[in-house]
Structure 1
Amino acid sequence: MFKSLIVSFALAASVLANVYITSPTADTTWTGGQEATIDWQDDGSSPSLASFGLAKFSIYVGNANQQTSLQLISGNVSVANVSSLTFTPSPTIGPDSNEYFIRVESLNLKDASNSQYPALAFSAKFTLAGMSGTFNSSLQAEIDGQSTAPIGGPTSSAGSATAATTAKATTVAAVTTGSAAASTATSTSKSNGAGRHGVTSLAGFVGAAAVLVSAAVL
């Protein structure tokens, strides 16, 4: 059984969390039930990966105002000590879709503009295939909400945050499956649509918008 907590709050524009996810990208397709690897690197902006510290990785869907966690990948990863995370996407969390993204929430670092919220980072939206689940009406409504609250904005490149709005996030399922794997981050100049924003950023990247989620798994 899972317990969900919905949190609503006003968001103001802010930029830059420094965990830059290089995989998955917008061109990535992972298969449910088969191992996948998330890779990241320091984007060169302040704060350092050491400051971002321990982090929680999850798979999400949603829009700029509402996002839902579908799978907890790992709840305690040191982004400074490792630069990749291998896990198995659960095929039951949803259907074949290109609406999934990775959200990274710092357990140590607070948002630079609002210290009551954690710093966040996001991947590009990516595809999961070989899936056996479905999106219920609430999840589909969040995804459809991109028509008025697009999580990627008008382009496929990372950009600036939007103005203040009200956001709501929900966790409906969490499956802990991941284990951290050490590797060396490599630099890249090619944009993959990953988000590099703090908790109060909403859009301007293909990956996702930033919101706060608190949830406990019973």
Structure 2
Amino acid sequence: MFSKAIISFALAASALANVFITSPVATSTFAAGQQATINWQDDGMSPNLASFGASLVGIYTGNANQQTLLQTINPSVDVSTSSSISFTPDGSIGPDSSEYFVRFTSLSLKDAANPQFPAEAFSAKFSMTGMTGTFNSTVQNEINGQSTAPIGGTATASASVSMKTVSTSSTASASGSKTSTSATATATTTKTGAAGKVGITGITCFVGAAASLLGAMLL
């Protein structure tokens, strides 16, 4: 099991490509019912934002192997023509917690290394307050599983993630997404490949970085 220090270092060290999420960061706090803003920019590396294109943006929780969509922020926003989204956090999606993160999922671009999967980018984990909901047991188990499959970052700079969606759990919704229902809100759960890619902008392999770092520390 990796220590928090090892995980944090690996996350900070993995930086490559596309959607660079500048807000929220690890020190951000969104308040339920109050307008919040998500910001991003092109980091100047390939693929660019024009290639990433239209994306589903949502608030999630979970770990690198399994995540649950708690709130859809925008089902299709072109990240190359916009650089921010303002929305109102839904307080019923969970409790006060620092286990939330934003995920961008490209609707057209595929992962260059694994073209059967969509390109994705994740923010750092951030806090939400004034919440009235709860995490059900399935969602809580995902969060508890992050000791071996962490997600998000701890640095003040945004840490986003690209991972490979391979399957889903529970019941299919009308749109084809699978759903996991919490005590107060309907959430979409997606499972991702164990070798999830974690980095500041989303195209670096976390497992390789963490393993290399661990190996160096054991020498």
Map of 2:126 onto structure 1: 126
Counterparts of 2:199 and 2:114, CA distance in 1: 22
Counterparts of 2:35 and 2:143, CA distance in 1: 25
Tell me if structure 2 keeps the 8 A contact 1:21–1:194. no
* TM-score of the two chains, using structure 1 as the length reference: 0.68
Change (3 A) 1:118 1:17: farther
Map of 2:216 onto structure 1: none
Q: CA deviation at 1:195?
A: 3.7
Return 5+ residue gaps in structure 1 as ranges: 1-13, 176-192, 206-218
Deviation >6 Å, runs of 4+? 159-162
Counterparts of 2:72 and 2:161, CA distance in 1: 28
Structure 1, residues 76-118: CA drift from partner, whole Å, max 9, x if none? 1010111000011100000000000000000111110111111
Q: CA deviation at 1:43?
A: 1.2
Q: CA deviation at 1:194?
A: 6.7
Instruction: Say if 2:201 is the partner of 1:196.
Output: yes
Instruction: Give the partner amino acid of 1:25.
Output: V
Map of 1:41 onto structure 2: 41
Tell me if structure 2 keeps the 8 A contact 1:15–1:201. no
Instruction: Give the partner amino acid of 1:113.
Output: A
Tell me if structure 1 keeps the 8 A contact 2:199–2:205. no
What is the count of residue pairs matched by the alignment? 171
Map of 1:112 onto structure 2: 112
Return 5+ residue gaps in structure 2 as ranges: 1-13, 170-177, 181-185, 189-197, 211-219
Structure 1, residues 118-154: CA drift from partner, whole Å, max 9, x if none? 100011100000000001111111101112222258x
Map of 1:101 onto structure 2: 101
Quote the sequence identity (%).
Answer: 56
What is the root-mean-square deviation in Å for CA atoms of aligned residues? 3.3
Tell me if structure 1 keeps the 8 A contact 2:15–2:200. no
Counterparts of 1:107 and 1:160, CA distance in 2: 16
